[in-house]
Amino acid sequence: MPDPYLPELTTFALNDDETTVVTEALKASKPWDWKPACPVKKASLKSAKDKILAFHLQRHNHTCCYCKTGLKAAGPFMTDREHVLPKSKAQFKAFSYAIWNLGVACKRCNMQFKGAADGFVVSKVDQVAFQTSENYRFIHPNYDRWGDHLTRFDAGMDEKKLVVFFNPTDSEKGQYTKEFFKLEQLSLNSFDEGQGLKTTDQLSRAAALVLQLAKLFGQPVP
Ligand SMILES: [Zn+2]
C-alpha cells in the first residue's frame, strides 16, 4: 500500500551525528528518555527528536494523529511525540526511534487514553507485521489514511465550537478508534461547553445542523 501521507516515510533521514547518537540511545534502558552527558551528543539527540516531530507534524498537517485536533493553535505543550508501540514496554523498546512507529498526538489522546496500552496491537511478536496496517485495531498514524475511516467535522464561531465524528463507511478501525480514544466525549463536550446545550433535543438538533453543514462541505456523512 502506498504511503497515505506526505512526505513519505521513506524520505526521512537523520544525519550521521544524529544516527550515531540514536544508535547509542537504543542501548540505554529507556532509549527515548536517555540523556547523554556530552553536550554535543545532547544537541544531536535533540535535533533528531526535533526532526522527527517536524516530519510527523507535516504528515498530519499539524493535527493529532488520532482525533485530528489542531495542534498548531494548541502549541508545543499540547503536542506529544507519540510512540504507537509503547516505548515503555520492553519488547517495543527497539522501535523508540523508528520513524514508522512514531507520530504526533494531542495530550488528551496520548496521556489520557494511549499511555502504555497495547490492546490495539494484533500480534505483539511478529516483527514483520509491526509495519503493516493489519496489525493495528485502530487507525495507525502511518499505515492508515485517517479520512478513510472517520470524518471529523468542526464548526466554530467565536468561542463556540462544535465537533462531530462520523464513520461514513462503517469502518471497524474507525469504530475502534472512536471507542479507544472516547472521541464521542469530544463531541459531547463541544456541544455542552460551546453551546450550553443541555437537553437531548437541543443536542440532536445541533447534530442535525452539523450534518447538514458537513454535506454542504461535500463530506461523506451517513
Ligand atoms: Zn488527539
* Overall average pLDDT of the 27-54 stretch: 97
The band of 102, judged by pLDDT with boundaries at 50, 70 and 90, is very high
The band of 49, judged by pLDDT with boundaries at 50, 70 and 90, is very high
User: Grid coordinates 528518555 are at which residue?
Assistant: 33
Q: What is the Å distance from ligand 1's center to 66 Cα?
A: 5
1-38 confidence digits (pLDDT tens): 799 999 999 999 999 999 999 999 999 999 999 999 99
Q: Is the pLDDT of residue 203 over 70?
A: no
Q: What is the Å distance from ligand 1's center to 112 Cα?
A: 10
Least confident interval from 13-27, 91-105, 119-133, 200-214 = 200-214
CA separation, residue 22 to residues 25, 67, 186 (Å): 5, 29, 36
Q: What is the Å distance from ligand 1's center to 151 Cα?
A: 14
Average pLDDT of the chain to the nearest whole number: 89
Determine contact, residues 156/144, Cβ cutoff 8 Å: no
Q: What is the Å distance from ligand 1's center to 189 Cα?
A: 14
Q: What is the Å distance from ligand 1's center to 85 Cα?
A: 16
In the chain, what are the domain boundaries? 9-137, 151-216
The band of 59, judged by pLDDT with boundaries at 50, 70 and 90, is very high
Q: Is the pLDDT of residue 220 over 70?
A: no
Burial 175-206 (b: 16+ CB within 10 A, else e): ebbbebbebeebbeebbeebeebeeeeebeeb
Quote the pLDDT of residue 108. Answer: 93
The band of 73, judged by pLDDT with boundaries at 50, 70 and 90, is confident
